[in-house]
Chain A
Amino acid sequence: MLFNSLEFLAFFGIVYGLYLVLPFRGQNTLLLLAGYVFYGWWDVNFLFLIAFSTTVDFWIGLMLAEGRVPTRQRWAASVFIVAAAVVFLCVDWAALVSWFTPGAQPLAWTASAVGGWTVVGSLAFVLVANATHDRIAAMAPDRRRRLMLFMTVFVNLAFLGCFKYFNFFIDSAESALAGLGLNPELFHLHIVLPVGISFYTFQSLSYTIDVSRGLVKPTRRLQDFALFVAYFPPMVAGPIERARHLLPQLLQPRRVRWRQVGQGLLLILFGLFKKVAIADGVAPAVNAVFNSSGAVSAGDIAMATVLFAVQIFCDFSGYSDIARGVSKMMGIELMLNFRLPYFSKNPSEFWRRWHISLSSWLRDYLYISLGGNRRGEGRTYFNLMATMTLGGLWHGAAWNFVLWGVYQGALLCVHRFFTGDRRPAAPRPGLTGAAVGALQIAFFFVFVCYGWLLFRANSFDQIVLFTQTLLGFGPSGVPSVIPKPPLSALAGMALLFALQLAEHLQGRLDAVRFWPRPVQGALCAVALVILVMGTSNAPVQFIYFQF
C-alpha cells in the first residue's frame, strides 16, 4: 500500500477514525492489526518473516535481560510463530479475497509445500527453543549474553542474506569463476525481495542490542513488541526507529494533541508534495537517460544525475515526512530522518543530515562496535571504509551500491585526513561568509551528485561510460534525449528550494511554524495546488522500498 494511493487514504481514514475513539489497549491492538494489513497488502506470505523476527527477538530480549523467558511468554511466542506459519503461509489468501467477488469458487485449503514445511519447521523451532531454554538459562550470564547476541545477529542477518544477498553473491561467484574459465551453474533462490526487509530487520536488531547494552528494558508482552516491529508508518522505508525511542511511546497511553495534528498534516502535505509533484515528476527524465541503451551526451548525464539527486531526496524524505506526519497525528513521534542534506559542506556533515536513522544506526551498532576512532588513525580509516561499504551494501545487492559505499567511505576518509577531529570553524560573518558558504555547498554538491550517479547506474559498464563522457572522453555530437520535467516538478523544485533556503538561513527546520498564519496558509495552498498538478504524474514506487 503506497502512501500516495487512494487505498492508503481509505485505510488510514478507517484506522484513524477507530484510533481516536478506542482506549489505549484497543489502540495498540488496532495499530498491530493495521501494521499487518498494511504490510500484507503487498504479500501476506512475507508477514511470516515479520512474525518470526518478532518472536526470535522478543525471546532473545527477555533472555538477555532476565536470563529466562517466563512460561507464559514462552507459550505466547510458541503459539504465535506456529499460528503465523499456518495463517500466513497455508491459507490461500488470493482465493479468500476473490471469494468476495461474484461467482467465486468455494474456498479451498491450499497448503503449499513451502507453507507445510514452514509449519513443520516452526514446530521444530518451538520444540528446540523450549527444550534448550533451561540449559541456556543456566549458563553463565556473560556466555549466555554472547550466545543470545550471536543468535539475534545471526537470525536477522540470515534473513537479509537469504532474501536480499543470496542471489547476488551466487551471481558474483559465478562471474568470478567464469573469469577463471570455469562455468559452474550454482544454486539460485527464485524468490522476490520482501518490501522493507532491511528496515524492520535493523529496527528489530536494534532492540536486542540495546537490551544487551542495558539501554532499554525488554518488553514482557509479545503484543507490545510485535507492535514495535510492525508499527506501520515507518515499517517499509523508515525512519529506522530505535526501541528506546519508540517503545516507551507505544507502551504509554497517548493523547492526540491539536499541535501534533497540525504538524502531522503539514508533514503529510509536504511529504506528498515532494513525492508526487517532484520525485515522480522528474523520474521519466532520469529514466530516459539511465535506461537508455544508446549513446548519451555529457549534458544529459549531468542533468539526469542532478535530477536524480532531487528525485531520491524528494522520494525518500517525502516518505519519511509522511510516515512522521501520520505517526504524529496518532500522538507518536518518529525520528527526524533528513535535515537539509544538500546544504552540507562536507561528507561528515552530509551523513549527519542524510538518512539520519540509518547513519546513526551504522555509527552506534557498527562503527563504534568496530572501535570507532578510539584505536588509532589507521584503524579509524578502516572503520569508516568498512562502515560505509556495508552501508552501501545495505541499500541493495549490487556492485554499484558497494561502489557507492566505498566512494562515501573514501570521501569521509579524505575529509578526515584534512580536518582530523577538529570542529568546523565558525562561518565568517556577512556577505563574504555567505558567499564562501554557498561555494562550499555547491562544491560538495558536485561530489554528492557523482555518488548518486554510482547509486543510480544500471551497471558497472554504464558507470565507466558515463564517467568517461562526463570527463570529455565520450562520444561527441550526441543529441540531447532528456525530456523536460513537467510543470509540477519545475514549480515544485522552485518552491522546495525557496523553502529549504529559508529554513537553512533561519537555522531551523520548523521555521514555517513561526511565520504569520496567512503566510503559512499561502505556502500550504501553493504546495497543495502544485501537488494537485503533480497527481497527473505516473506514480513510481518509493525508491527505498526495494531496500
Chain B
Amino acid sequence: MPAHRRAVLQVVAWTLLFAALIDVAINLAFRVPADPRQKPGTLANYFEYGRSVEAKLRRSLGPDDERAADIAVAGWIDRDCTRAVKGEPGRTTIAFYGMSFSNQVGDALAELDPSVHTVYFAGPSAPPNHSMGCFHLRQAKAGDAGDDPASVQVLGVLASSVKGLLSMTGATTGFEGPAPFTYPRYRLDDQGRLQATQPLVRSTADWREVMADPQRWGAFKQQLAQHDRFYDPLLFDAGVGDRSAIVRMLRRAWAQHSSRDLADSVLGPDGFSADPEIGPVLQALVLDFAQRSRAAGKRPVVLLLHDGQSGDALHRLLSPVLTAHGVDHVSTHEVAPTSDRANFIGDGHFTPLANLRIAAELRKQLARAPTTAPGVTSK
C-alpha cells in the first residue's frame, strides 16, 4: 500500500478508535442517577440531553408519583385545575392561567398591592392550549360547584410558548427536558368554532400504564403523530442509540434543528406566521376566554408576555382583536422590551424589576373600569 494512503487510513482508524474511547469515557464519567428525584451534575445533564424522549420519560416518571421527578408531576390539568381555591376576606382574588412568567407577574402584583390575592393554574412553559384546557375544565367545575372566588381572571400568553398550539404534550415540545403533562389540541372548524382534541394520556399514572401496554402505547404515539407537529419518532422512540454519547449529541442537534425550524415557522422576524392553526386559533382562544369569563361574571384580562426574540409579535397579533372586542390586555413589549437584555435573567425569565414594571401596568389596567364592546357578552 502506498505510504500516503497508509498514513491517511491510519489516522482515520486512530480517530475512530479515540472517538469510541471518548464515547465510552463520557458514559462512564457522567452517569445520570437512577433515582429521578436526584438531580444529575451539569455535565451529566449535558450529555443526557440527547437521550430519546421515551428513555428520559421512563426515568423521570419513576414507579409512582412519590418517587417521580418534579417535572413529571407538574402541569397536569385534571389534577391541578380542579383543586378547590379559597378567597380571602377583604382581598380581590385574581386567578392567573399561564406559566412561570405569568406566576411571577402575579407575585409582583401581590407585592405591589396587598389587597390582591393571587391563585395560579400553570404548567412549565405552558402553551395557550394548556391554559385554555385548564380554564375550560375549571369553568365546567365552577359551573357545577360555584366555588370559584376569583373576580378577575388573567390569561398569560407567552410568545415563545405559542408554538405549543401545534402540540399535545410538553414531552414533544421540550426535547431536552421533556415535561410529560398533556393538554388539548385546538383547531377551528369550517364555521370558525373551536374544536378540541383531548389527549389519551392525562396523568403520570396514565403514562406508566400506557408505556407498559404496547397496544395503548402505539395508540398514543399514533395520536401524537396525527395531532402533534413536534412529534418525531427519531427523537421520541428509545433505541440502541441511547447508549452512545456521540449519537445522543447528534440526536440533540437534530432535535434542536427541527424544533428551531418549527418554532421559526411559527414566529419569525416579521411576527407570527399565517399558519391557520396558529394566529386564528390563538385569536379565537383569547376571545373565547374573554367571553366565557364575562359570562361567568368575572373580569378577563389577557397578559401578552414577550420573551426571547419575539419583539412585539403577540401585541401585533392579538391587541387589535382584543381592542376590537373590548378585552382588557397588557403587553410587555414596551415596559420590558426583548431588545434590552437587562430585562431578562439567564434562563430567559424577566428580572424581578421587569416583573414589577409589568405588574404595575397590570395594576393600572385593573384600576380602570372594565371595557366592553359589541359582540362580547357581559354580565
Contact = CB atoms under 8 A, between A and B. Distances in A.
Contact of B342 (A479, A484, A535): A479
Contact of B18 (A487, A526, A532): A526
A478 B342 contact: yes
A535 B250 contact: yes
Contacts of A538: 256, 260
Interface string B82-94: 0000000000000
Contacts of A423: none
B22 A526 contact: yes
A479 B339 CA distance: 15
A292 B249 contact: no
Interface string B322-354: 000000000000000101111110100000000
A107 interface: no
Nearest to B8: A262
Interface in A381-412: none
B43 to A, nearest CB: 8
A291 B22 CA distance: 38
A532 B249 contact: yes
A260 to B, nearest CB: 9
B342 A295 contact: yes
A261 interface: yes
A481 B250 contact: no
Contacts of A257: 4
Interface in B7-22: 7-8, 10-19, 21-22
Nearest to B254: A535
Given A292-B339, A295-B342, A528 B249 contact: no
A522 B18 contact: yes
Contacts, number: 97
A37 to B, nearest CB: 23
Interface residues of B, number: 37
A532 B246 contact: yes
A265 B9 CA distance: 12
Main secondary structure of the interface of A (DSSP, over half): helix
A398 to B, nearest CB: 20
B18 A293 contact: no
Contacts of B250: 532, 535
Given A262-B7, A529-B22, A529-B246, A481 B256 contact: no
Contacts of B256: 536, 538
B341 A525 contact: no
A190 interface: no
Interface string A103-137: 00000000000000000000000000000000000
Given A293-B337, A294-B341, A536-B252, A262 B4 contact: yes
B11 A520 contact: yes
Contacts of B253: 532, 535-536
A345 B161 CA distance: 50
A294 B342 contact: yes
Nearest to A263: B8
A422 interface: no
Interface string A293-321: 11110000000000000000000000000
Interface in A522-541: 522, 524-526, 528-529, 532-533, 535-536, 538-539
Contacts of B339: 291-294
B346 A517 contact: no
A517 B7 contact: yes
A497 interface: no
B5 interface: yes
Interface centre among B7, B10, B249, B343 (most CB of A within 10 A): B249
Contacts of A525: 14-19, 21-22
B19 A529 contact: yes
Contacts of B374: none
Contact of A521 (B14, B46, B337): B14
Contacts of B252: 536
Contacts of B5: 258
Nearest to A300: B341
Contacts of B17: 521, 525
Contacts of B249: 529, 532-533, 535-536
A529 B249 CA distance: 9
Contacts of B11: 262, 517, 520-521, 524
Interface string A252-283: 00000111011001000000000000000000
A483 interface: yes
A257 to B, nearest CB: 7
Contacts of B12: 265, 521
A29 B121 CA distance: 65
A259 B43 CA distance: 38
A449 B319 CA distance: 44
A479 B343 CA distance: 10
Given A525-B16, A525-B18, A526-B22, 8 more contacts: A292-B342, A293-B337, A484-B346, A517-B10, A524-B14, A529-B22, A536-B253, A539-B257
The 10 closest A-B CB pairs, nearest first, are A521-B14, A294-B340, A525-B18, A535-B253, A481-B341, A262-B8, A258-B4, A293-B339, A524-B15, A258-B5
Interface of A: 257-259, 261-262, 265, 288-289, 291-296, 478-479, 481, 483-484, 487, 517-518, 520-522, 524-526, 528-529, 532-533, 535-536, 538-539
9 contacts: A262-B7, A294-B340, A295-B342, A525-B19, A526-B22, A529-B249, A536-B252, A536-B253, A539-B257
